[in-house]
């Protein structure tokens, strides 16, 4: 079973980061997209059941190799880094086209992606890759079973779950809760550095949309504590609402 996992390196949203023009400054901290880490773990779980080879694939600047090393430490057998210029600004559709064209040159039975990257929340890369390759795609899965040449999948929906059966090869985007993974131990990280990691320079020529500007959300205003008796607090609140142009009643 040949398994490909498409991953993305994103800014660490748990830490402060800097915006320079239309891009996140490289001085910021970057991490493997958490939902992509579930995708890697699911590939490892499938390989443990039926065997196979796992290839991690990413598109991004030089620093993105660090995310691939984490995939190798998780259990991927090899990695391919489609390296772009550090200041290259491309959308998910352009990324999907480049990833799909590279995947066409590889043997594959299963393709995993995270259900979305938590920096842009677009969630469309896996679907677009499947469309370009002309194969089925089941998004936001929370359980996967492989049987012969087909897959039986449970996917999360609003208000419930849906059971889907599809033929292989296919693309699956993984939702949080599909699996659990532990902390990476140092020996695994050291072993990852000995695994194949191929770097290929690519040029993103086509863009289907363009980021005009990036900016942080304004800081939220602090809360206001009203003091005095209940009646005084009510009167104070009414006065504040009137000042903001909110009519009574």
First to last CA, the chain: 66
In a domain, 24, yes or no: yes
- Cα–Cα nearest to 240, from 225, 218, 228: 225
In a domain, 230, yes or no: no
Query: What is the CATH classification number for the domain harbouring 33?
Result: 3.40.50.620
pLDDT recorded at residue 22: 59
User: Strand ranges (DSSP E) for 84-176?
Assistant: 110-114, 137-147, 150-157, 160-167, 170-174
In a domain, 14, yes or no: yes
In a domain, 231, yes or no: no
pLDDT recorded at residue 120: 78
- Residue-number span of the structural domain to which 130 is assigned: 2-201
In a domain, 215, yes or no: no
In a domain, 218, yes or no: no
pLDDT recorded at residue 156: 83
Total count of domains within the chain: 1
Q: Considering just the CA atoms, what is the radius of gyration of the chain in Å?
A: 23
Q: How far is the C-alpha of 209 from the C-alpha of 232, rounded, in Å?
A: 54
User: What is the pLDDT tens value at each position of the chain, 249 positions in all?
Assistant: 999 999 999 888 777 666 666 566 665 778 999 999 999 999 999 999 999 999 999 999 999 999 999 999 999 999 999 998 866 667 888 899 999 999 999 999 999 999 998 877 788 899 999 999 999 999 999 999 998 789 999 998 888 889 999 999 999 999 998 999 888 889 999 999 999 999 999 987 766 677 776 666 666 666 778 888 888 888 888 888 888 777 665
Structure tokens at 37: 């880490």
Half-sphere exposure of residue 161, counting CA atoms within 13 Å on the CB side? Answer: 13
In a domain, 232, yes or no: no
In a domain, 220, yes or no: no
Read off the pTM.
0.82
């Amino acid at each position: 079973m040949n398994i490909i996992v498409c991953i993305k390196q994103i800014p660490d949203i748990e830490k402060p980061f800097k915006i320079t023009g239309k891009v996140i400054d490289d001085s910021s901290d970057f991490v493997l997209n958490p939902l992509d880490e579930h995708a890697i773990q699911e590939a490892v779980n499938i390989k443990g059941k039926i065997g196979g080879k796992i290839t991690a694939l990413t598109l991004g600047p030089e620093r993105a190799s660090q995310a691939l090393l984490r995939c190798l430490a998780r259990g991927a057998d090899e990695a391919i880094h489609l390296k772009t210029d550090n200041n290259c600004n491309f959308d998910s559709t352009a990324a999907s086209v480049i990833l799909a064209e590279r995947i066409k040159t590889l043997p594959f039975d299963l393709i995993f992606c995270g259900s979305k990257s938590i920096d842009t929340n677009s969630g469309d890369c896996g679907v677009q890759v499947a469309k370009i390759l002309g194969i089925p795609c089941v998004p936001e899965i929370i359980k996967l079973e492989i049987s012969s040449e087909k897959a039986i999948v449970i996917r999360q929906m609003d208000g419930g779950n849906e059971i889907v059966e599809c033929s292989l090869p296919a693309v699956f985007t993984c939702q949080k809760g599909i699996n659990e993974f532990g902390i990476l131990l140092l020996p695994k990280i050291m072993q990852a550095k000995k695994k194949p990691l191929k770097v290929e320079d690519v040029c993103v020529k086509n863009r289907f949309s363009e980021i005009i500007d990036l900016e942080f959300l304004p800081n939220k205003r602090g809360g206001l504590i009203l003091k005095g008796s209940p009646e005084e607090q009510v009167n104070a609140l009414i006065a504040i609402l009137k000042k903001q142009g909110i009519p009574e009643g």
